[in-house]
Amino acid sequence: MPNEYEINELAKEESWRMFRIIGELVEGFDTLTGIEPAVTIYGSARLKEGDKLYAQTEEIAYQLGQLGFSMITGGGPGAMEAANRGALKAGVESVGLNIDLPEEQASNAYTTKSITFHHFFARKVMLVKYATAFVIIPGGLGTLDELTEVLTLMQTLKIKPFPVIIFNSQYWKGFLDWLKSSALDKGCISKEDLDLLIVCDRPEEVVEAVQTWYTKHKLVGKKALPK
C-alpha cells in the first residue's frame, strides 16, 4: 500500500498532467484558429514515396488546396507526408499534428504549421475540430481507430455529419463487408451510420465530393458543433 507521502506525490503528478493537457489544447486552438475550411487526411505512416497511393494522396491534397482548403494530417511520414506535400505545393496551410511516441515519429518537411502532442486524445480533438471533411487513405490500426472515432462522433451527434471519404474501395472492401454483414445485420449499427461513408477510387472523386458538400453546407468552426 502506498504511504501518505507517495499518495501526495502522485496527486501532484496528476495535477501537473492536467495542466499539460490543457496546455496542449490551448496551443492547438491558438495555432489552428482561422485555418478553415480544412480537410483532415488520415492514412498509414508506412506508405512510401514512389507508391501509387502516395502519389494519389498528394494529388488529392493538391487539388483540394487549389480550391482553397487547408490540409490537416498527423504530421508524420507516409500518407501524412504526401498530403502535406500536396498542400504545400498548392500554397495553402499545411498542418502537421505530430505525436510523441517511444519510437520517435519525426515531423515531415512539408508543413507550414506543426505541433507535437504528448497525449493522443488532445491531438485527436485538433484533427477533428477544424475539419470540413475527412479522407481516409489505406492504413493500419491507427487509421482504423481514427475512422471509427469520426463516425462515432457523428453517430452520437457530437459533431454534425461531414463527408467521411474512404479512398481505395478494394483495400476497405473487407471492412465494409463486415459492417454490412455482421454489424448491421446484428443491429449493432444502423443503415444511417453506413450512409455517412463515401467510397472513392480516384482523386477527382474525392475532390468533387468535398467541394459539393462544402458548397451546399459551409459548416466550419462553431457551426460544425450541435447547438
**Would you say residue 188 lies in a domain?**
yes
Tell me 34's DSSP state: T
**Would you say residue 33 lies in a domain?**
yes
Whole-prediction pTM: 0.87
pLDDT tens, 136-158?
Answer: 999 999 999 999 999 999 998 89
Judged against a pLDDT cut of 70, whether residue 10 lies above it is answered with no
* Domain enclosing residue 205, as ranges: 4-218
pLDDT tens, 120-135?
Answer: 888 999 999 999 899 9
**Averaged pLDDT score across all residues of the chain:** 88
* Cβ 58 vs Cβ 85: under 8 Å: yes
Share in percent of the chain as helix, strand, coil (round to 5): 55, 15, 30
**Would you say residue 226 lies in a domain?**
no
**Would you say residue 227 lies in a domain?**
no
- What 3-state DSSP class applies to 209? helix
Residue type, 3: N
**Would you say residue 224 lies in a domain?**
no
What is the pLDDT at residue 104?
A: 56
The CATH number of residue 207's host domain is 3.40.50.450
Buried b (16+ CB within 10 A) or exposed e, 151-174: bebbeeeebebbbbbbbbeeebee
How far apart, in whole angstroms, are the C-alpha atoms of residue 165 and residue 137?
9
Q: Give the number of domains in the chain.
A: 1
Judged against a pLDDT cut of 80, whether residue 224 lies above it is answered with no
**Would you say residue 166 lies in a domain?**
yes
How far apart, in whole angstroms, are the C-alpha atoms of residue 208 and residue 8?
57
Query: How wide is the angle at C-alpha 34 spanned by C-alphas 31 and 37, nearest 5°?
Result: 120
How far apart, in whole angstroms, are the C-alpha atoms of residue 97 and residue 80?
10
**Would you say residue 148 lies in a domain?**
yes
Residue type, 90: A
Cell digits of residue 83: 498530403
